């Protein structure tokens, strides 16, 4: 079982006995706490389980069936992060925030502050877990450049400096805008550092059992060709 805030995930084997045990546990929770399980927000899904069995388990628990990919805590689960469709939500949220009217009526300094605040929040969760595809990074970079130089007007935008220079720190003459590709690699590299330095944790036990430790993960893992 995993819990986060008011969300709870139960894991069990795909058989009637395990499903009945979950139902008994939920009934005991209702009797002891006086609370009720919201079945309209509860769903059941399976990994490597046929749909007929899933439907049978859903009937026992009075749940709706769930198909992959699905969204949990704002993150898409079960999708392929190498496909552009996986990142559509991130791109659209960034596009809506960097809307044209904001760029038109904001000064250069305020546009830079807005870009920094948005880039430090919207794509951070995804980029800390998945390597961003080149096409998605190019699209996000284009949105940034249009917002910074476009001023919200149509037509060709005039870039007053190269984007590489813009992404340099202020001390080096840049504007301190985040370079998405470098930022993404730094976030992914932090997991290797945590895997090496942390003493314990469920996530570390899973990666150790699958890849054989942080040294194998850095090289691609003993069971995969490319971990990051």
Burial class (CB in 10 A: 0-12, 13-18, 19+), 176: middle
Domain span including residue 123 = 80-184
Q: What is the pLDDT of residue 147?
A: 81
Q: What is the pLDDT of residue 69?
A: 78
Average pLDDT, the chain: 80
Does 190 fall in a domain?
no
Task: Say yes or no: 163 and 85 in one domain.
Answer: yes
Task: Say yes or no: 44 and 12 in one domain.
Answer: yes
Task: Say yes or no: 136 and 88 in one domain.
Answer: yes
Which residue, of 67, 92, 111, is where some domain finishes? 67
Does 19 fall in a domain?
yes
Residue ranges of the chain with per-residue pLDDT less than 70: 5, 100-104, 120, 151-157, 213-228
Which residue, of 12, 37, 67, is where some domain finishes? 67
Task: Say yes or no: 105 and 148 in one domain.
Answer: yes
Domain count, the chain: 3
- pLDDT, one tens digit per residue, over 15-70 is 989 999 999 988 998 899 888 888 778 888 887 888 889 899 998 888 888 877 77
Task: Say yes or no: 167 and 112 in one domain.
Answer: yes
H or E segment to which residue 58 belongs: helix 51-61
Contacts of residues 67-73 at CB distance under 8 Å and 24 or more positions apart, as own/partner, are 70/43, 70/45, 72/7, 73/4, 73/7
């Amino acid at each position: 079982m995993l819990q986060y805030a008011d969300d709870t995930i139960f894991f069990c084997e795909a058989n009637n006995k395990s499903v009945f045990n979950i139902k008994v546990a939920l009934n005991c929770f209702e009797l002891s706490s006086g609370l009720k399980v919201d079945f309209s927000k509860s769903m059941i899904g399976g990994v490597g389980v046929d749909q007929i069995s899933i439907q049978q388990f859903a009937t026992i628990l009075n749940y709706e069936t769930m198909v992959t990919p699905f969204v949990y805590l704002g993150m898409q689960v079960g999708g392929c992060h190498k496909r552009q469709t996986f990142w559509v939500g991130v791109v659209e949220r960034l596009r809506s925030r960097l809307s044209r009217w904001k760029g038109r009526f904001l000064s250069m300094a305020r546009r830079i502050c807005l870009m920094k605040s948005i880039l430090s929040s919207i794509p951070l969760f995804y980029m800390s877990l998945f390597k961003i595809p080149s096409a998605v990074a190019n699209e996000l970079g284009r949105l940034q450049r249009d917002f910074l130089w476009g001023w919200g007007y149509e037509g060709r935008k005039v870039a007053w400096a190269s984007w590489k220079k813009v992404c340099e720190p202020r001390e080096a003459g840049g504007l301190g805008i985040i370079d998405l590709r470098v930022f993404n690699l730094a976030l992914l590299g932090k997991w290797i550092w945590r895997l090496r330095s942390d003493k314990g944790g469920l996530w570390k036990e899973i990666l150790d059992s699958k890849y054989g430790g942080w040294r194998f993960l850095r090289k691609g893992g003993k069971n995969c060709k490319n971990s990051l």
